[in-house]
Amino acid sequence: MKILILGGDGYLGWPTSMDLASKGHEVLAVDNYSRRTIAMQTSSEALIPTPNLEERARIFKEKTGETINISIGDLKDFRFIEDHIKTFQPDAVVHYAEQPSAPYSLKGYEEAHYTLKNNLEVTHNLIWAILKNKPECHIVKLGTMGEYGCPNIDIEEGWLEIEHKGRKDKFLFPRAAGSLYHTTKVLDTDLLWFYVRTYDLKVTDLMQGPVYGLSTTESDLDERLLPNFHYDDIFGTVVNRFLVQAVAGVPLTVYGKGGQVRGYLNLKDTLQCVDLAINNPAGERELKIYNQLTETFSVNQLAEKVRKAGELLGINVEVKSIPNPRREPEDHYYNPSNTGLLDLGLRPHFMTPEVLADMMEIVQRHKKNISINKIYPRVKWS
């Protein structure tokens, strides 16, 4: 298949590009280095320096013989994205090309406006480039479990049948996200669903939980092929922050009570899920939605897992609570359904102490790069 990856330089975009190229697909990866630019501007560079995308593709070719085509440009420019759809004629597009940082999206007006504009305009440009030039192309869009927020009812996979005053209808599952970044993904879903039902677009929207992990079949070949590892308060996930704090010998910082529950998945499982989505395309006028997570736990449970991983490496891990910079429930009901992708054949890799210890060993090799002050929250929600 011909597969276009938007946001091919990202934490998920790069491993996805390698995985799909290794599976024999013709891959074109596009990026504008927006994440790298923001990382510089906010002093939030990744722990492990990564070569640029052209260079990564060159190393990947050297190691595997496989080709990843690269194009650098801004998808907010309609002519740029339309050109690629016209000439490459992809069978599927994997759309990761969004400003992905929640704290950045709440930093101030400029950052909020950039996040809203970038994420909505790129999605809208992609929709129109496909409608006009390859309407049968399947869009695999990365959404987020964060779109749902923390409702007091079970989270179904994208849709909900509602009975009200004796009548029934089926709707998108209600969404109420916790940050502007997550809200732009809610808007993306609304927009995609409009074009799916009105213009017969084919879309799969993957509601993904926080992803962790550095190891994939391809990234294990050469450290220069590793995905980006951010541990800062802008791009870093809670998992990465905890691992870096453990290695640096400072206490893990839990925001507030630590009862915040999320659904996590291993990077290897993201690759499986995207592959399953590509191989089971949505039909015409169908918006397929899957909840992409393999297990749920609270921030406190996560801290305990990191503590156990530390033990395996002889590291004594401490945990402390700091004031929560976010406006979020710290103790809440959370029960998302996730059977869709399992039914398609997903075989989960769970977050064991061994898996976390493997990540910690990579972090240890780059310990000299850790700036511990980057970890503490610089952006307050609201």
Measuring CA to CA, which residue among 327, 332, 329 is closest to residue 106?
327
Which of the ranges 13-21, 65-73, 161-169, 344-352 carries the binding residues for a copy of itself, by CB under 8 A?
A: 161-169
Q: Which of 37, 41, 86, 153 binds a copy of itself (CB under 8 A)?
A: 153
Q: Is 144 one of the annotated active-site residues of the chain?
A: yes
Per-state percent for the chain, helix, strand, coil, to nearest 5: 40, 20, 40
Give the footprint of a copy of itself on residues 177-216 (CB under 8 A).
Answer: 177-180, 183, 186-187, 190-191, 193-194, 197-200
Nearer to a copy of itself, 65 or 171 (CB): 171
What is the C-alpha separation between 129 and 14, in angstroms, rounded? 23
Per-residue burial over 97-113, b = 16 or more CB atoms within 10 Å of its CB, e = otherwise: bbbbbbbbbbbeeebbe
Sign of CA dihedral 68, 69, 73, 79: negative
Token duo for residue 381: 């929600």
Residue 132 in the binding site for a copy of itself (CB under 8 A): yes
Give the footprint of a copy of itself on residues 57-116 (CB under 8 A).
Answer: 78, 109, 112-113, 116
Strands 68-72 and 159-164: unpaired
Nearer to a copy of itself, 230 or 326 (CB): 326
Token duo for residue 175: 């969404």
Q: Is 185 one of the annotated active-site residues of the chain?
A: yes
Q: Which of 83, 121, 286, 295 binds a copy of itself (CB under 8 A)?
A: 121
Set 16, 42, 115, 144: catalytic member? 144
Which of the ranges 83-91, 122-130, 235-243, 251-259 carries the binding residues for a copy of itself, by CB under 8 A?
A: 122-130
What is the C-alpha separation between 92 and 371, in angstroms, rounded? 40
Token duo for residue 23: 């599976």
> How many C-alpha atoms does 382 have within 13 Å on its Cβ side?
6
Which of the ranges 149-157, 211-219, 222-230, 310-318 carries the binding residues for a copy of itself, by CB under 8 A?
A: 149-157
Question: What three-state secondary structure class fits 372?
Answer: helix
Residues classed as catalytic: 144, 181, 185
Residues that bind a copy of itself (CB under 8 A): 78, 109, 112-113, 116-117, 120-121, 124-125, 128, 132, 151-154, 156, 160, 162-165, 167-169, 171-172, 174-180, 183, 186-187, 190-191, 193-194, 197-200, 327, 333, 381-382
